């Protein structure tokens, strides 16, 4: 988008048929239904005005959006605004019985397709919030990326509500709100003063990757010593084929002057003639060229976290939290960098220990510089343990996702290269990026070698610029659909198609996978969260499963000597009702062991996602994976943000049906290029990691330690794991709330536990 989009709009053309008022001087409100009155010319279908409310029909009583509620007759000119400036507010009354768990809003346009606002927060409980029961069109994702400007649509002509389950809603207010300018919506970052003089860095020390200091946090017991910082030295330990990390913390003196031109130099460590460094990297300015790259530095960017949930506030509320880790090589946000007066600035350092590293003690130093002059040197001591993590992981961890459209990749070649880079980045960090084929994927895609190459082990080889964990290892699980399989994924005249339809559809995937990805496991994702997303809930789902996908896939496997697995996000209790299910989850270790005994696969998902959780929060997932004997643990999304969303400034990327802003949910890596907001674009052709992503990585590295140690002493390992995960609820609230998660919140516990595992592995 061109910079001119950020200029303030001189005026907004507003239809005379809609009453408008100013809100906080930077937003125009169009009242469509307020105080029991409809705007002139507005007509309803599927509802009637009763008193000061609109009473709708039972929306979705027959099927999704059949019938539905609609209003027509609007004429709100949006030709001079961006869709990201437009908000929809629909306030409902009554208890939850009148409000669907999942519902979408359609915004009808004079020109072009309707805009689809998913998961509208009709159940929002935050009545005193300005965005109560309101959602912005910036959250419409790919549709926005295709048509971002209002002139494509001309005017808003109506609204519709789509749901299922037969909810008769009561609506007390309907409004369209439009921001006057994008400058108000996306303000500039504060800029360092080029005339700063006399500013000083008062403290320099190190902390581990599972610790953090807030931007304004001046005093911390970690400064005196912690799990990696001892007697003024950085102490690390790791195995071959492992990534270890630490953070350099710099604190500036308060006052009027900050410091410009700060940099951190770390060239690696050595043990006699043996070195772990970047000396053999062909493209040192490309952080995604992994051959010979063993050191990577990131500048930490801090994001403002505001309390989004019910319950007692945590210590992170309204604070700037270290989250985004921008590679030093970035054009914006990298190094060198300023430090504002009285602020804390962290630099994240990754060391990948190569598979051929000689065991023993390696040494080096971190050099903190200002304007090219060294002001502090920190000795680094790395102990390389005499064992290696496996090249193929014991537990497959993965995050659902795809490269953001913010990158601006247009040609098939650009898109392929970008996805390859994303997949390599995730693999390098001991996890996977995955997404499923969709049912009905055309033959051209299924027979495209380059499409399958992304799922093969070939892209994880030196000839494609890769070195690290999982070299040459193909994707373990390949999904036939991931969300949205539907009742009739492969066609046919019946409600769910015929057995012949299913066989014909499955055969296309099976044939292509056998040709291009031999050894991979094909998985048909039957249905996501059928307890509330399948009409009729679990009873109806089990009946449908046992009639269609269960026997149809089973007969296909027998006929073609295949082994396509069936998966749905249900637990072992439901599985007893659908015996042909192959992959499901367990709520207890006992249930997990029963799953393994039957020869099935325990898959689990998600974890403590919020940016407000401690830095270590997601690390516990790797320990949970061992405890539950999970073969596959996945995160529902890695890049859950829309094209216009201000990723580097706004953490409230996700709102559920209850109206909760869930900061960082499904947002673990950030776009290396932002074509929508170029003023906050690192200018990199790949993803930018976050602190929570790195802790997810560290957790699954820990899981490999657990698996290696369990070969020697499984009882001791189980006792250690129980101590770490006891009382843990991976989806509960923040520490300090009544629903505290119970997981370890400091790096020290993990370091101590790993030290015990090392002794077991080495037989000490």
45-84 pLDDT, tens digit per residue, is 999 999 999 999 999 998 889 999 999 999 999 999 999 9
Q: Please calculate the CA angle 582-583-588 and round it to the nearest 5 degrees.
A: 120
**How do residues 330-368 score in pLDDT, each as one tens digit?**
999 999 999 999 999 999 999 999 999 999 999 999 999
User: What average pLDDT score do residues 664-678 get?
Assistant: 96
User: What average pLDDT score do residues 688-700 get?
Assistant: 98
**How do residues 277-309 score in pLDDT, each as one tens digit?**
999 999 999 999 999 999 999 999 999 987 544
Total-model pTM = 0.92
**Residue 62 CA: distances (Å) to CA of 68, 96, 359, 535, 729:** 10, 20, 67, 10, 38
Sign of dihedral through CA atoms 743, 747, 749, 755?
positive
User: What average pLDDT score do residues 682-698 get?
Assistant: 98
DSSP state of 348: E
Asked if 678 and 3 touch (Cβ cutoff 8 Å), the reply is yes
158 pLDDT more than 50? yes
Residue linked to tokens 């279908």: 45
Pairing of strands 601-605, 583-585: parallel
What HEC string does 593-656 produce?
A: HHHHHCCCEEEEECCCCCCCCCCCHHHHHHHHHHHCCCCEEEECCCECCCCCCCCCCCCCCCEC
Distance between CA atoms of residues 54 and 593, nearest Å: 53
Sign of dihedral through CA atoms 482, 483, 486, 492?
negative
Provide the pLDDT for residue 738: 39
Percent of the chain with pLDDT over 70: 93
Q: What are 419's two structure tokens?
A: 């996805």
**Residue 380 CA: distances (Å) to CA of 642, 746, 758:** 41, 21, 21
Domains and CATH numbers, the chain: 3-185 (2.60.120), 201-388 (2.60.40.10), 396-702 (3.20.20)
Provide the pLDDT for residue 727: 65
Provide the pLDDT for residue 729: 56
């Amino acid at each position: 988008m061109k910079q001119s989009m950020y200029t303030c709009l001189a005026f907004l053309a507003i239809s005379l048929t809609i009453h408008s008022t100013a809100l906080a001087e930077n937003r125009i409100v169009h009242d469509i239904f307020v105080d029991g009155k409809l705007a002139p010319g507005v007509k309803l279908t599927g509802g009637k005005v009763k008193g000061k409310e609109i009473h709708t029909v039972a929306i979705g009583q027959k099927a999704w959006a059949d019938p539905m509620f609609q209003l027509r007759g609007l004429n709100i000119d949006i030709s001079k605004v961006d869709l990201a400036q437009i908000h929809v507010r629909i306030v409902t009354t009554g208890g939850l019985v009148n409000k669907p768990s999942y519902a979408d809003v359609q915004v009808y346009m004079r020109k072009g397709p309707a805009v689809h606002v998913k998961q509208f927060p009709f159940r929002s409980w935050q009545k005193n919030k300005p965005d109560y029961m309101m959602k912005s069109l910036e959250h419409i994702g790919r549709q926005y990326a295709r048509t971002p400007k209002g002139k494509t649509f001309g005017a808003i002509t109506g609204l519709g509500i789509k749901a299922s389950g037969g909810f008769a809603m009561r609506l007390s207010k309907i409004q369209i709100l439009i921001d006057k300018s994008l400058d108000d919506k996306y303000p500039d970052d504060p800029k360092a003063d080029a005339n700063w003089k006399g500013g000083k860095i008062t403290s320099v020390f190190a902390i581990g990757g599972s610790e953090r200091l807030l931007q304004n946090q001046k005093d911390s017991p970690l400064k005196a010593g912690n799990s990696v910082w001892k007697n003024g030295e950085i102490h690390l330990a790791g195995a071959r084929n492992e990534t270890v990390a630490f953070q350099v913390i710099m604190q500036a003196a308060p006052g009027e002057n900050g410091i410009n031109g700060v940099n951190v130099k770390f060239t690696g460590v050595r043990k006699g003639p043996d070195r772990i460094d970047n000396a053999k990297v062909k493209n040192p300015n490309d952080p995604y060229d992994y051959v010979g790259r063993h050191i990577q530095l990131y500048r930490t960017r801090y994001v403002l976290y505001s309390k989004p949930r019910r319950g007692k506030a945590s210590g992170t509320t309204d604070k700037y939290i270290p989250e985004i880790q921008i590679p030093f090589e970035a054009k914006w946000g990298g190094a060198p960098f300023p430090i504002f007066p009285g602020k804390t600035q962290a630099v994240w350092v990754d060391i990948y220990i190569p598979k051929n590293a000689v065991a023993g003690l390696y040494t080096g130093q971190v050099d903190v510089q200002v304007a090219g002059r060294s002001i502090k040197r920190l000795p680094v001591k790395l102990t390389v343990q005499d064992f290696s993590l496996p090249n193929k992981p014991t537990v497959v961890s993965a995050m659902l996702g795809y490269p953001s459209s913010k990158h601006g990749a247009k040609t098939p070649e650009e898109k392929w290269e970008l996805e390859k880079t994303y997949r390599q980045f995730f693999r390098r960090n001991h996890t996977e990026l995955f997404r499923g084929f969709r049912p009905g994927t055309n033959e051209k895609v299924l027979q495209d070698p380059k499409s399958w190459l992304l799922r093969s082990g070939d892209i994880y080889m030196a000839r494609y610029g890769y070195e690290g964990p999982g070299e040459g290892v193909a994707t373990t699980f390949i999904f036939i659909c991931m969300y949205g399989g539907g009742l009739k994924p492969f066609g046919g005249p019946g409600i769910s198609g015929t057995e012949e339809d299913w066989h014909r559809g499955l055969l296309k995937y099976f044939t292509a996978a056998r040709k291009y990805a031999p050894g991979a496991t094909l998985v048909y994702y039957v249905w996501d969260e059928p307890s509330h997303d399948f009409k009729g809930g679990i009873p109806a789902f089990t009946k449908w499963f046992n009639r269609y996908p269960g026997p149809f896939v089973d007969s296909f496997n027998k006929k073609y000597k295949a082994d396509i697995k069936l998966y749905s996000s249900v637990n072992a209790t439901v599985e007893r009702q659908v015996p042909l299910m192959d992959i499901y989850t367990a709520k207890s270790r006992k249930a997990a062991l029963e799953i393994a005994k039957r020869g099935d696969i325990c898959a689990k998902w998600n974890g403590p996602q919020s940016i407000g959780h401690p830095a270590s929060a997601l690390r516990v997932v790797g320990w949970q994976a061992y405890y539950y004997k999970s073969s596959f643990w996945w995160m529902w999304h890695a890049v859950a943000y829309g094209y216009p969303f201000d990723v580097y400034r706004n953490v409230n990327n996700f709102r559920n049906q209850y109206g909760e802003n869930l900061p960082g949910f499904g947002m673990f890596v950030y776009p290396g290029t932002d074509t929508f907001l170029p003023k906050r674009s690192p200018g990199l052709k790949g993803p930018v990691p976050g602190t929570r992503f790195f802790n997810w990585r560290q957790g699954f590295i820990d899981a490999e330690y657990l698996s290696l140690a369990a070969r020697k002493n499984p009882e001791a390992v189980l006792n250690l794991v129980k101590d770490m995960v006891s009382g843990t609820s991976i989806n509960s609230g923040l520490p300090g709330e009544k629903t505290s998660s119970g997981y370890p919140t400091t790096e020290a516990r993990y370091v101590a536990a790993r030290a015990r595992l090392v002794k077991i592995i080495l037989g000490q």
